[in-house]
Amino acid sequence: MFLYLSKLLPLFIYPLGLSSMLLVVGLTTVWKRPRIAAICMALALGTLLISSNAFVANYLVRSLESQHIPVGELPTADAIVVLGGATRTPSPPRPSVDLSEAGDRVIYAAQLYRQKKAPIIVLSGGRVEWSGSGNAEAEDMATILTSIGIPRSALILEPNSLNTYENAKFVKPILERKNLKKVLLITSATHMPRSLLIFQRQGMDVIPAPTDFLVSDSELTEMTATPKAAILSLLPDAKYIHMFTNAMKEYIGMVIYRLRGWI
């Protein structure tokens, strides 16, 4: 129930859900309480304009991504831990497992393995019951890795976790059984601050290895490179609502996880 509510309730806080609620209130009060309706519609418009703005979304995302940028070359470790959320299940018409927007996690794990940063890759991720049928995310990630030449013997699967806390909780005993002490943690750069805190709370020796960066230095510079670029950056764009929402999810998640004592 906590998992379901944790996915459902924040929808009314994120820009699209909040704007929709405000518009519903505005439409239902427009005849009897036009002042309230006008305020709700103005708030909905303001929410959408702010969250779809390149400056706001990029800098909010950057505030997360910049926290654990590796300085120099990553050290070697006993294992690489990859968190789920990087694949799409092979459901028709999809012929096989696809990589999602966060698919860089899987590719980066393969790169680090081939660089001999660790001899073992632990793949962590299950599948929530309402997300459809299919394999656990750990199994789908293993399918991708073996298809690009990573030996199956180098992979350890943790197919039961349904959120980041469970990733850490279920990975810990695997590491202890295999006597794997130091690990490289791979997840999206926006997700890394929360993930690292959770794994450290479980007492694991974790080195952050973020990937899937959404905002680069050049993209920040380009926003104000010319007057035309600055004007275009001020215009609403759906992709920035998505980025803004992802960043909000992480900050809200950190608050909720802290209240539950998970970080």
What is the Cα–Cα distance from 207 to 205, expressed in whole angstroms? Answer: 7
Give tens-digit pLDDT for 240-251: 999 999 999 999
What is the Cα–Cα distance from 8 to 3, expressed in whole angstroms? Answer: 9
180 is a domain residue? yes
Residue type, 213: F
Residue type, 226: T
Say whether both 53 and 85 belong to one domain: no
Mean predicted confidence (pLDDT) in 88-107:
91
Say whether both 78 and 201 belong to one domain: yes
Using a cut of 0.85, tell me whether the model's pTM lies above it.
yes
Give tens-digit pLDDT for 172-193: 999 999 999 999 999 999 999 9
Cα dist from 118 to 127, 130, 179, 211, whole Å = 26, 35, 13, 17
Say whether both 94 and 141 belong to one domain: yes
| CA-closest candidate to residue 138, choices 97, 198, 104, 77 | 97
Confidence of residue 133 (pLDDT cuts 50, 70, 90): low
CATH value at residue 100: 3.40.50.620
| 220, two tokens | 């920040």
232 is a domain residue? no
Percent of the chain topping pLDDT 70: 94
Mean pLDDT lowest among 18-27, 35-44, 87-96, 233-242: 87-96
Residues 6+ apart with CB under 8 A from 158: 122, 123, 124, 125, 138, 167, 170, 171, 174
Residue 247 phi/psi, 5-degree rounding, is -65, -40
| CA-closest candidate to residue 164, choices 212, 125, 205, 106 | 125
115 is a domain residue? yes
pLDDT for 71: 87
pLDDT for 197: 97
| 65, two tokens | 């991504």
CA 218 from centroid of its chain's CA atoms: 22
* Residue of 46 and 11 predicted with greater confidence: 46
228 is a domain residue? no
pLDDT for 90: 85
pLDDT for 97: 92
Confidence of residue 42 (pLDDT cuts 50, 70, 90): very high
Per the structure, how many domains does the chain have? 2
| CA-closest candidate to residue 122, choices 178, 193, 162 | 178
Confidence of residue 235 (pLDDT cuts 50, 70, 90): very high
Say whether both 92 and 195 belong to one domain: yes
CA 133 from centroid of its chain's CA atoms: 22
60: number of Cβ within 10 Å = 22
Q: Is the pLDDT of residue 149 over 90?
A: yes
Say whether both 60 and 178 belong to one domain: no
213 is a domain residue? no
pLDDT for 135: 86
Percent of the chain topping pLDDT 90: 81
Say whether both 164 and 138 belong to one domain: yes
